[in-house]
Amino acid sequence: MRSTNTIEAGGTSDRASTGFRSFLNPFSRIGLFLAVLCFAASLTPSMIPRPTIMQGLLAGIAAILGYSVGAAVQALWCYMELPRLRGQALRITTLVLGVFCLGYAAFCLWNTAAWQNSIRARMSMDLLGNGHVWVVCAVALVSFLVLFAVGRSVLILARVLIERARRRLPRRVANVLGFSAAFIVVWLVASGVLGRGLLPVLDASFRRYDALLQPEFPMPTRADRSGSKESLLT
């Protein structure tokens, strides 16, 4: 009994360590390049000014989207067994693309405060200080890592479901069912968290913030203007 329990415990620990190692696998090179480019692109000026925290969240979301596309392309490339760069060619290409992406990100970070202040000045809003860039970087990094952990957890869940389904089903059927089940579980959890927790809190906070704002212009009176009492929309 002791040996059996030891073997079972060893198998469980091996599976846990394997899952942990898979969670900490190296990042995708192409994914990181696209993540940096998307992060930098999100810093470019827009039609309306962005609050610092919101800018950081948008930058983190843009980075994780870019990383997801790059990682998916790299995985598809490897799956199709297409030729890949190796050795000196891989190192040179990585260095050139890395310098380009980091240089573009540094350029956008250097100008982001000026870009936002140019819009704020036109709207008679307070200008941003020197700490804007650091807060944006910190919020973007945290949001990127959180979303990356969520995505990697989904992949691990799908892998576990696929391994269990392969015991009774063909490999391709198990792959489809495993990914579908993982997606459904994550969708249900995310819908519950967003619908019951996060969105009501954000809605209440925006309502309190909106009540503090003094109207700069009188309410429209024409029925074809948004916000008027005669409008067809509330």
Q: ∠25-8-172 over CA atoms, to 5°? A: 55
Residue 67 amino acid letter: Y
Closest CA to 43 of 98, 121, 110, 143: 110
CB 223 within 8 A of CB 230: yes
Q: What is the residue-averaged pLDDT of the chain?
A: 79
57-73 mean pLDDT:
91
Give pLDDT tens digits for 164-189.
Answer: 888 888 888 887 888 788 777 777 77
Match 């490897």 to its residue by tokens.
78
pTM: 0.67
Give pLDDT tens digits for 197-231.
Answer: 666 767 777 776 666 666 666 777 777 777 777 77
**Would you list the domain boundaries of the chain?**
25-145, 166-213
97-118 mean pLDDT:
90
pLDDT at 213: 60
More confident residue, 149 or 79: 149
More confident residue, 74 or 194: 74
